[in-house]
Amino acid sequence: MSAGDGASTTAWARGLGLAAPVVCAPMGGVAGGALAAAVSLAGGLGTIGMGSAGSVPALERELAARETALAHAGTDPAASPFGIGLVAWGIARDPALLERALAAGPTLVSVSFGEWGAPDPGAAWIPAVHGIGALAVTQAATVAEARAAADAGVDAVVARGREGGGHGDHREPRDALLAEVRAAVGIPVLAAGAVAGAADLARVLDAGAAAAWVGTAFAACTEALTPAAAREVLFASRGEETLVSRVYDVALGRPWPARFPERLIRTPFVDRWHGREDALAADEAARAEFRAAAAAGDYRVVPVDAGTGVDALTEERSAAEVLAALTGR
């Protein structure tokens, strides 16, 4: 750490031309083009996230939103770094999504939540990402996964701790996983999971992270796609109210593999069905109730994804304000 000027930076961040060693995590339905532009303009690396609802038209909409936001700021889109985050099983179903992402010329492409060693999609995306001169990155929940990713040729791996919001394989706490993954691989390691304030960022940088991969802290930003009612839930919730569950996926029949449940803020509906997902899958009335609530944006029923760092969210802030709070500037 360097004293006096807030948080230190890292060689990895400097190499990407970033002022701050912070990547805004790809978050489907949250991290769109406006947020990606705002984070990058503020000195971090913004990303566009394509989750289970990802599609080529959705990606094109967010790429256009990024360009519009940068144009308003008087910045040439080609001069502003950004990333695109995809899910492995999503590009296996729709390979055009990866092709469209590569055509956009991102600085970084992440593909997470796949099975290393599996032929489809396996690691075929990595040479494709390298082919456009971008960095290939993935999230890992275990040392074995991080090693497999490094062996397959990723340029950096995100050690994603169990504290993290949204989908993932929630196992080890962030700091323990970061230390183990750093000891196991010879590539830069980013840290994810409840990096919500300056102390968290300083802690992971001191532990040797190349950058922090921050989701929840940016989820209620002015520039995020998050609906107003969902932001209110984020401001009112605490980390202890989060739960790792498949209820949302089962209720909507979303095709997330069972080994990647999501950390979300509990609602009475989640409490009623958590641990009884098979019964929920068979209960058409309950699922219809959930679908209606989702269509209406009723967050008393529908849970909002968040990590345990949600405590730090108390009011709407711009991405620049969140980044300033993280870096202590």
Ligand X SMILES: Cc1cc2nc3c(=O)[nH]c(=O)nc-3n(C[C@H](O)[C@H](O)[C@H](O)COP(=O)(O)O)c2cc1C
Binding site for ligand X (CB under 6 A): 25-28, 30, 49, 51, 85, 87, 110, 112, 139, 160, 163-166, 168, 192-195, 213-217, 219, 305-307, 309
Q: Which residues contact 305 (CB under 8 A, 6 or more apart)?
A: 27, 30, 165, 166, 167, 219, 262, 263, 264, 265
**Termini Cα distance of the chain:** 14
Residue 144: Cβ within 10 Å count: 11
The nearest distance, CB 279 to ligand X, in angstroms, is 26
Radius of gyration of the chain (CA): 18
Tokens of 10: 């890292």
For residues 267 and 208, give the distance between their C-alpha atoms in angstroms, rounded to a whole number.
Answer: 37
Rounded to the nearest 5°, which phi and psi values hold at 131? -60, -25
In the complex with ligand X, which residue's Cβ is closer, 49 or 106?
A: 49
The nearest distance, CB 53 to ligand X, in angstroms, is 9
The nearest distance, CB 35 to ligand X, in angstroms, is 11
In the complex with ligand X, which residue's Cβ is closer, 22 or 286?
A: 22
Residue 215 near residue 190 (C-beta atoms within 8 A) = no
In the complex with ligand X, which residue's Cβ is closer, 250 or 306?
A: 306
The nearest distance, CB 76 to ligand X, in angstroms, is 27
Measured at CB, which residue is nearest to ligand X? 215
- Cα 170 to chain centroid, rounded: 14
The nearest distance, CB 117 to ligand X, in angstroms, is 19
For residues 63 and 171, give the distance between their C-alpha atoms in angstroms, rounded to a whole number.
Answer: 33
In the complex with ligand X, which residue's Cβ is closer, 67 or 311?
A: 311
The nearest distance, CB 71 to ligand X, in angstroms, is 26
In the complex with ligand X, which residue's Cβ is closer, 69 or 214?
A: 214
In the complex with ligand X, which residue's Cβ is closer, 276 or 317?
A: 317
CA distances from 26 to 22, 68, 201, 289 (A): 12, 19, 18, 29
